[in-house]
Amino acid sequence: MAIETIHIAGISEPVSRIGLGTWAIGGSMWGGSNDEQSIATLHEALERGINLIDTAPVYGFGHSEEVVGKALVGRRDRAIIATKVALDWDDAGRVTRNSTPQRIRQEIEDSLRRLQTDYIDLYQVHWPDDLVAIDETARVLETLHQQGKFRALGVSNYSPAQMDRFRSAAPLATMQPPLNLFERGATETELLPYAKYHQMVVLAYGAICRGLLSGRMTPETVFGEGDLRSFDPKFQQPRFAQYLAAVEALKAFAAERYGKSVMALALRWVLDAGPTIALWGARRPEQLNGVEDVSGWTLTAEDKRDIDAILTQHISAPLGAEFMAPPHRKTSL
């Protein structure tokens, strides 16, 4: 079954509704990575019909972009590259938000160099910066857009009100919030209706909730020091046991109702939520197995009610992805 596609304003090619997320390929906060395997994973994604590659400078402090750039040599015309801007870090790896014009201008040139390309398909502001006026950030990016540095503009982790201010100075084609079966803020806040109304595409990050919805984790799964999940509250007891119990119930539901894996169910739920793309993080080729099971079917209203009942039964206090938000700078630059 071919992967479904969607249109993003400003990008002429059809974009796959499954995108490859490359945070783990950067190595930091995911227990390390192997560049050779990562490049093989990127090549495998293209072969399977996944053409959207989502990365960011902060993923491994430039390393993810460098690996993506190496992998796409000779294959650039087959890929839709989405990367981000407006985070900064110091020598100790401490990350802060930074949407100043000088940071944006520096980052886009660094990203183009690391990605070994002369344009980016989708450029996204990674997090809003309270110390820089949103319309100022938008105007700088619109100038870079007019210069041909990128084809489409998006934002990540913005509220509808913040997007309204951004759109007063520059058009937006996409938004990128966390969205998965366990983290539903985008469905509960007005983000999805906002996207539909303004004809924006939603890139849903964390579509399998940092591996929780892969169906591969057990109560004995351990995350090493520095791994993002070692300080994600969902992966700490007693919550971890609750989420794993929900996964087991969802696994049985997916198998009985559709003969599918729980991961296929989780990704289908994201695709059925609206004008969405599900970002699937992988760093080994075999982690892409099953991508063909996501397309060609939909969940019914009854399915969604049954899924909601499973979550309510097993998870007493659902959590969002707020723990991932980087701090603001203490003073303006």
Catalytic residue numbers read 59
164-167, long-range: CB < 8 A, 24+ apart: 165/134, 165/135, 165/138, 166/125, 166/134, 166/135, 166/137, 166/138, 167/138, 167/198
Helix (H, G, I), strand (E, B) or coil at 255: helix
The 3-class secondary structure across 199-237, one letter per residue, is CCEEEEECCCCCCHHHCCCCCCCCCCCCCHHHCCHHHCC
Could you tell me the CA-to-CA distances from 225 to 29, 32, 170, 323 in Å, in that order?
Answer: 9, 11, 41, 17
Please, are residues 122 and 11 in contact by the beta-carbon 8 Å criterion? yes
| Cα 78 to Cα 81: distance, rounded to the nearest angstrom | 10
Closest CA to 134 of 165, 155, 159: 165
Q: Partners of 6 in the beta sheet?
A: 15
d(CA 222, CA 25): 20
**What's 327's DSSP letter?**
P
